[in-house]
């Protein structure tokens, strides 16, 4: 055989062994699989970092949405409880205003009653001081 045919056979065997290694999952030096495996960890780690960054961003956004929803829910519940309290306070305020008016009217009536008693008692005091004991008539 010629030298050329020997080299061609050797080259074919090397190619066949590399193809068999790729198909069977083995590594052969200089094969595309070996090159890919060397570059794969750096590519995967950069993709993982990108995914983690997106997840953190999504998680942060989701947390903000949850907090916002929780805040809105709490505000609604508090408003439901505050509204009756505000209505009750308004009713109490109106009642206190009425009581204050009643108190002022009562005070004015008591003042008029005292003035009337003073007028009624004053003539009797002057009679008892000037003329002596007198009999009083109840009307």
Q: What percent of the chain has pLDDT over 90?
A: 40
* 3-class secondary-structure state, position 111: helix
Structure confidence at residue 138 (pLDDT): 46
Asked if residue 103 has pLDDT above 50, the reply is: yes
- Predicted TM-score of the model (pTM): 0.39
Q: What sign results for the dihedral spanned by CA atoms 56, 58, 61, 63?
A: negative
Task: Average the pLDDT over 89-117 and give the result.
Answer: 95
Residue 124 contacts by C-beta under 8 Å, 6 or more apart in sequence? 134, 136
Task: Sort residue 25 into left (φ over 0), alpha (ψ -120 to 50) or beta.
Answer: left
pLDDT in tens, 20-73: 666 665 554 554 445 455 555 677 778 888 888 888 888 889 999 999 999 999
Average pLDDT, the chain: 80
When pLDDT is cut at 50, 70 and 90, the band that residue 77 belongs to is very high
DSSP state of 25: T
**Residue-level length of the chain:** 139
Q: CA–CA separation, 18 vs 31, rounded Å? A: 7
Alpha-carbon distance of 74 to 79, in angstroms, equals 8
């Amino acid at each position: 055989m010629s030298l050329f045919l020997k080299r061609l056979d050797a080259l074919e065997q090397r190619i066949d062994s590399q193809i068999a290694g790729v198909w069977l999952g083995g590594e052969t030096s200089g094969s595309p699989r070996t090159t890919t495996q060397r570059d794969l960890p750096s590519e995967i780690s950069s993709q993982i970092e990108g995914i983690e960054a997106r997840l953190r961003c999504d998680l942060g956004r989701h947390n903000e949405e949850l907090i916002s929803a929780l805040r809105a829910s709490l505000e609604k519940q508090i408003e439901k409880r505050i509204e009756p309290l505000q209505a009750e306070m308004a009713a109490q305020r109106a009642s206190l205003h009425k009581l204050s008016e009643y108190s002022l009217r009562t005070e004015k009536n008591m003042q008029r009653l005292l003035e009337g008693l003073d007028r009624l008692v004053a003539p009797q005091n002057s009679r008892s001081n000037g003329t002596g004991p007198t009999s009083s008539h109840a009307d």
